[in-house]
Amino acid sequence: MGKITAEGNVEAINYEGFQLTRLDTVIGAARSNSLWPLPFATSCCGIEYMASMAPNYDIARFGMERMSFSPRQADLLIVAGTISKKLAPVLRQVYEQMSEPKWVLSVGACASSGGIFDTYSVLQGIDRVIPVDVYVPGCPPRPEQIIDGIMNIQALVKHESLRRRYSPEYKDLLDNYNIENDIDGK
């Protein structure tokens, strides 16, 4: 048998003259290195997120610095800051407008749990209205933590099966949120 090696991000079996790998692996590697983030920043955590784009942290080193402010051209929703209950339907609409496959990063205590604002007006975590893939702790998290969160998203994306979005488990997840799955046209 051939040798199993890692070529960049792609695990493959190499023989002289050709390389054998799986479609899942190639597409996972391509997707994980070309995420287009949509920043949904509402308060102080948003400022930390902006710092992660500045030259000293330089999120562009991943080659995916192209922020998208249109949900239709984004596949990573980054929610940074306090989300009021009034704003929750807007956040959900933005999520729904993004095409599959899509991922969500919750940055900071407010987005993840309401943070210190245990009040009538603040949503106690965005996972009450949309599914979240990775949570970044902190109030505020440092840019290094935000970048770590993005790298965790990349690891998820890289290893996600192409079939996951069609699976009954994924459909159940969306059903729990009353979100229509646009993949199977329902």
Note the residues at the interface with ligand SF4 (CB under 6 A): 43-45, 81-82, 108-110, 115, 139-140
Please state the residue numbers annotated as binding site: 44-45, 110, 139
Q: Which is nearer to ligand SF4, 98 or 109 (CB)?
A: 109
What is the distance between the alpha carbons of residues 142 and 150, in angstroms, rounded to a whole number?
13
In the complex with ligand SF4, which residue's Cβ is closer, 116 or 162?
Answer: 116
DSSP-derived letter for residue 177 is: T
Cβ(97)–Cβ(180) under 8 Å? Answer: no
Q: In angstroms, what is the minimal distance from the CB of 113 to ligand SF4?
A: 9
Rounded to a whole number of angstroms, the minimum distance from the CB of residue 47 to ligand SF4 is: 8
| Angle, vertex CA 173, rays to CA 150 and CA 108, nearest 5 | 35
Work out whether the CA dihedral 115, 116, 121, 124 comes out positive or negative: positive
Nearer of residues 79 and 174 to ligand SF4, judged by Cβ: 79
Nearer to ligand SF4, 64 or 123 (CB): 123
Please give the annotated binding residues for [4Fe-4S] cluster, written as ranges. Answer: 44-45, 110, 139
Would you say 37 or 140 has its CB closer to ligand SF4?
140
Shortest gap between Cβ of 60 and ligand SF4 (angstroms)?
A: 23
Closest approach of Cβ 108 to ligand SF4, in Å? 4
- Considering only CA atoms, which of 144, 149, 147, 115 is closest in space to residue 133? 149
CA distances from 113 to 4, 45, 49, 123 (A): 43, 13, 18, 8
Give the count of beta carbons closer than 10 Å to the beta carbon of residue 56: 7
Minimal distance, residue 61 CB to ligand SF4, in Å: 24
Give the DSSP H or E segment for 138: none
178 CB neighbour count, 10 Å cutoff: 8
